Amino acid sequence: MVNPKYHIFVCTSCRVNGKQQGLCYSKDSVQIVNNFMEEIDERDLSSEVMVTNTGCFGVCSSGPIVVVYPEGTWYGNVSPDDVEEIVEKHIEGGEIVTRLQI
């Protein structure tokens, strides 16, 4: 996949040394990444959507943070249960999930 239609970035508080620690990590951000990957596979969107875990975005007070490109939409306080809604509404429907947008 060289040029996905969407690229989803999820803060997992990954540090340069590879260690994961921090607010997003403590709030199940790794599970959020897993849920995105599962939803994308289940909906047969893997050729259109790429998911990447990241280090800190710098807005820890709103974490876990998810950023969706190409729009550059930032979502905050995302839980693993929010992933299905983001995929259904934003990725498949083109509609921003305003209750999570920051």
Task: List, in order of start, the domains of the chain with CATH numbers.
Answer: 6-92 (3.40.30.10)
Token pair, residue 63, equals 């974490």
Model confidence at 88, pLDDT cuts 50, 70, 90, reads very high
| pLDDT tens per residue across span 5-31 | 999 999 998 767 767 778 898 999 999
Summarize the confidence of residues 44-65 as an average pLDDT.
Answer: 94
Token pair, residue 17, equals 């040394």
Res. 67: pLDDT tops 70: yes
Cβ-based burial of 41 (10 A; exposed 0-12, middle 13-18, buried ≥19): exposed
Token pair, residue 72, equals 């550059």
